[in-house]
Amino acid sequence: MDPTYEHECNISEAAGKPFPVDDLIQVYTSKIVSYIEEHRLNKDSNTADKPPFLLVYTPDNTHVPVYASSKFRGTSRRGLYGDAVQELDWSVGQILQTIRNGHNENERDTIVFFTSDNGAQGGHGNLGSMGPFKCMKGTTWEGGVREPALIWGFPYGSVFPTNEVRMQLSTTMDIFPTILELLSTEYEASSSLQIDTVNKMDGKSLLNILQDNHKPSLHESFIYWRGDVIYAIRLNAYKIHFYTEGCTSYWVPGRTNVTSKPIVYNIEEDIEEKYPINATLVPELYKQIVNKAMIIRDNMYENLKHDKSKNPPQLNYCDPAAALYYPDYPVPPSNISECVYS
């Protein structure tokens, strides 16, 4: 349920009547509830007639521009942004309740993943906060990429333990292989999803850590990309920065700094990325961590040296006219050029 797709399909007709943009979350929620009821919750049909479904809901709120419907406008103590958060919370609640309403003892388990694609964005009326994490969206500091996630299984306890917290390293890329393992699907054996030297999954199934809190993450490392450049690498408890960015407005150019030598943090003990490891005081530890990170970085670059005419970097070209601008902000003329991250 991608809002962009809905716009292309003329969402006014989908809603059955013209409506203001502030009502988008209301419309999305209504359509999602109807979809689930039509596909899974027809009580007059047998369970065998109810095929499994995959629904991806990517609401544009609480991104900018921030909005809320009349039902929620003015109901929070945090202005329009707070109103938008409350409406999104309501939307998710409606979806989960619809799943509960249609459950019976023969119903298949339903898994819900709830997360974000990046950290909060500041400014422009967006009052999101990353708490103790450094900076916000648009940087490779922890505040730019780290976000919480909730995994909800119904009926409760059928697949995962309930009311537990996991702190192991994971990414949104892990959702796909987790679903495959839940479905007992061998990715390599699928005729349409063959793994080869070009197509490879970066995600890892989460089932091992979801079912046992004592199991380690399958990710030894994690790469922080900016365009087609590796800015930082997470290596177990450590994070190594090759480039850093200032906490400026998301679209301000010239925000990247090339570090004279890699900056290393123990990200588990220093979540605010305030106190880098002193290469002079602990030279062997620093050297060991940096050397391993450089090997990971160089191997990744080497692995991507396949035919770029067939698989060009996704962010290889930038166009200022395609960036996010407010209605009262003049959109610059289109000027497609190679992206510059410096």
3-state SS class at 96:
helix
3-state SS class at 93:
helix
Residue type, position 248, single letter: T
CA dist 33 to 9, 10, 71, 99, 103, Å? 18, 19, 18, 9, 14
Burial of 105 (0-12, 13-18, 19+ CB in 10 A): exposed
DSSP per position, 98-129: HHHHT--TTPPPEEEEE--SS---EETTEE--
pLDDT of residue 294: 94
pLDDT of residue 37: 84
Burial of 293 (0-12, 13-18, 19+ CB in 10 A): buried
What pTM value is reported for the model? 0.75
Residue 96, Cβ neighbours under 10 Å: how many?
15
Provide the residue-wise pLDDT of the chain in tens; the chain has 342 residues.
444 444 444 454 444 555 567 888 998 999 999 888 887 655 455 555 566 778 899 988 887 778 899 999 999 988 898 999 999 999 999 999 988 887 655 555 788 899 988 888 766 656 778 888 988 887 888 988 898 899 887 666 667 778 888 888 899 999 988 888 887 765 555 545 554 545 577 888 888 888 888 888 888 899 998 777 888 999 999 999 988 876 654 444 444 566 678 999 999 999 999 999 999 999 999 999 999 999 999 888 887 774 544 444 444 556 666 544 434 456 667 777 766 544
DSSP per position, 216-247: PPS-SEEEEEETTEEEEEEETTEEEEEEEE-S
What's the rounded Cα separation, in Å, for the pair 342 and 336? 17
* Phi, psi (deg, nearest 5) at residue 239: -125, 130
Burial of 112 (0-12, 13-18, 19+ CB in 10 A): middle
User: Helix 24-40 and helix 79-101: axis angle, to 10°?
Assistant: 10
pLDDT of residue 311: 44
Cβ(152)–Cβ(112) below 8 Å: yes
DSSP per position, 45-63: S-GGGS----------TTS
What's the rounded Cα separation, in Å, for the pair 166 and 146? 14
